[in-house]
């Protein structure tokens, strides 16, 4: 099995899910006492979050590229950026390393297309929902992307940073997300992309009637498939 490299800590709440899901997928594939070969660098999310909201994406790219090189130097054969939002600087990170980068939006789009869906509702941070780096990547795969209105975007963004990234899972916020998801469905979304790795902590399949695509799980499973290829 190849060694999976994780660039994590953004937030550690979802990075811990990555580690568990990668090992669960490895055990399912190989059986017995098998577990995944993994190396990880976990950053201080507070530093990254400040750069995000200051709009200093150049500094974000430089910081994460340096850490990605550490992951490669530790023996990784492929790299996962364990966050949707920081795929905004995926191209810069990819250029800084000599191992393949498994892009979370590509893995998610492939899974959605296999399931037969065309129009998707996208939830995530404000950056992910409103900027071209993520939506455009999905559209390159032929998907039509619907995002919440500005009011609902603010709600989703706030819950992610003020609650989920801090380990707080609140029923009131789940109710708000379920309502937002219903609105996306009424606008034509055939499924919902949980396009922030923490959203799966709040909303799971049993909470809504529309299919959910958990990017954390998809990314982890695709990493294992690639590592066993």
Contact 199, 121 (CB under 8 A): no
Does the annotation mark 63 as catalytic?
no
| Phi, psi for 10 (deg, rounded to 5) | -125, 65
Question: Which helix or strand (DSSP H or E) is residue 155 part of?
Answer: helix 150-162
Copy the structure tokens of residue 154.
């603010």
Catalytic residue chosen out of the listed positions 165, 196, 200, 216: 196
114 catalytic, yes or no? no
| All residues at 6 or more sequence positions from 224 whose CB lies less than 8 Å from its CB, including other chains | 4, 22, 25, 26, 29, 36
Q: Are 61 and 91 in contact (CB under 8 A)?
A: no
Question: Given 15, 83, 200, 215, which residue is catalytic?
Answer: 83
Active site residues: 83, 196
């Amino acid at each position: 099995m190849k060694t999976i490299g994780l660039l994590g800590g953004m937030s550690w709440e979802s990075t811990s899910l990555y580690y568990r899901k990668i090992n669960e997928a490895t055990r399912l594939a190989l059986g017995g006492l098998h577990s995944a070969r993994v190396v990880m660098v976990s950053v201080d999310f507070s530093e990254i979050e400040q750069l995000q909201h200051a709009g200093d994406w150049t500094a974000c790219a430089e910081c994460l590229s340096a850490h990605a090189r550490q992951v490669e130097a530790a023996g990784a054969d492929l790299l996962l950026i364990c966050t949707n939002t920081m795929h905004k600087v995926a191209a810069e990170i990819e250029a800084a390393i000599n191992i393949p980068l498994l892009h979370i939006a590509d893995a998610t789009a492939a899974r959605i297309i296999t399931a037969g869906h065309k129009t998707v509702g996208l939830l995530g941070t404000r950056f992910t929902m409103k900027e071209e780096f993520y939506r455009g990547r999905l559209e390159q795969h032929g998907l039509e992307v619907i995002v919440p209105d500005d009011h609902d975007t603010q709600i989703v963004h706030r819950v992610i940073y003020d609650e989920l990234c801090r380990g707080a899972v609140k029923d009131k916020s789940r109710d708000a997300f379920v309502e937002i998801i219903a609105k996306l469905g009424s606008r034509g979304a055939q499924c919902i992309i949980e396009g922030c790795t923490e959203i799966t902590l709040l909303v799971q399949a049993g909470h809504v009637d529309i299919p959910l695509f958990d990017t954390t799980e998809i990314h982890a499973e695709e990493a294992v498939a690639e590592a066993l290829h």
